[in-house]
Amino acid sequence: MVSTTAHLTGFGIATPARVDQETLWEDFFARHFSGARAAGRVFRSSTVRRRHAAVNPLVEDVSTWSTEARMRRYAREAPPLGASAVAAALADSGLAAEDVGLFAVASCTGYTTPGLDIRVTTDLGMPPDVQRLLIGHMGCYAAIPGLGAVADFVVARRKAAVLLCLELTSLHLQPATGSLDQAVAHSLFSDAAAAVVVRPEPTRGALAIVDIAALTDPAGADHMTWNVTNLGFRMGLSPRVPDVLSRHVGPMITGLLARHGLTPADVDAWAVHPGGPRILEAVGDGLALPDAALAQSRHVLAEHGNCSSATVFLVLEALRCGGRPRAGRYGVAMAFGPGLTLYAALVQAT
């Protein structure tokens, strides 16, 4: 019988050079946010210890660069990082580049044409008839709708697909300001590329993609924004975001699980996008999860920061390497972003 389920069969992660959070604060951001009296407390409470930066502000201050200059730098930095992540995912899946039927790219931090979708397919030797999809400017939750799109392709076409999430948030360092919400954003965000391979048939250790769910609260549309300005892309963050999430995450996730006769107690692995420590607290409270359930999300936040759309795959891969979810058991991956939008994927280990 032909399977009607797509399967995650390979992961690949690539990151630029690592930078220490305390060093970033002491040697750059303390001066950059000298007008924001609470900025030091914000950086310390972020729980981020290390981040990755394609453009390190300790070496190169791009805060006054035009958006055009930042996009030129994106075009230089992003393709090799993306190719590295995709090559690793293909190797993990045991799939050759010429066997890929669809290559999808999610990114909200840079745009260029010919874009990453063309550059990476060419660099890795994917066939000239490979289909391509670009998912732009959705923000931190883009990995989940991207996963849904490639899974639908895999089921319909019976061909393998690759999804690459690549974010270079370091390119969008904003000018010095006394704005505390900018201190919050700059204390959290980081760079990374994460790629996954999705195939019609499972391989050993694969994750079946069971279902995708989404919820958008238009009343919170102004709580999280990502606006294109003349000086890069500017993040807007409201302190009300965790409260909105805590109100919606419980009903949304229990509804997703109920469609399959499950409850949160049946979930063996929680891959929650670590938007920040308060976000993780809101999710934990909203779902009544024990602290241990979000340990990998907290670890990824500490060691990588918030890498926007790539982050949830970093958490899911860390869980997979730790043997979760166990064979036959379920996992939930979820992420949040502008809208205010929540997305979640239900997976099952084969």
Taking alpha carbons only, the member of 169, 172, 163 closest to residue 135 is: 163
Q: How far apart are CA 225 and CA 139, in angstroms?
A: 9
Q: H-helix or E-strand containing 311?
A: helix 311-321
Q: How far apart are CA 112 and CA 134, in angstroms?
A: 11
Question: Cβ(108)–Cβ(78) under 8 Å?
Answer: no
Question: Cβ(12)–Cβ(43) under 8 Å?
Answer: no
Phi, psi for residue 205 in degrees, rounded to 5: 80, 10
Positive or negative torsion for Cα 246, 251, 254, 259: negative
Active site residue 140: yes
Question: Nearest 10 degrees: CA dihedral of 200, 204, 210, 214?
Answer: -100
Residue 192 DSSP SS3: strand
Q: How far apart are CA 70 and CA 173, in angstroms?
A: 10
Question: Nearest 10 degrees: CA dihedral of 227, 213, 92, 293?
Answer: 90
Given 108, 140, 165, 307, the catalytic residue = 140
Strand boundaries in the chain, DSSP class E? 6-14, 18-20, 50-52, 100-107, 131-136, 160-168, 191-199, 207-216, 224-229, 232-237, 267-272, 330-337, 341-349
For tokens 């064979």, the residue is: 327
Taking alpha carbons only, the member of 311, 349, 345 closest to residue 330 is: 349
Active-site annotation, residues: 140
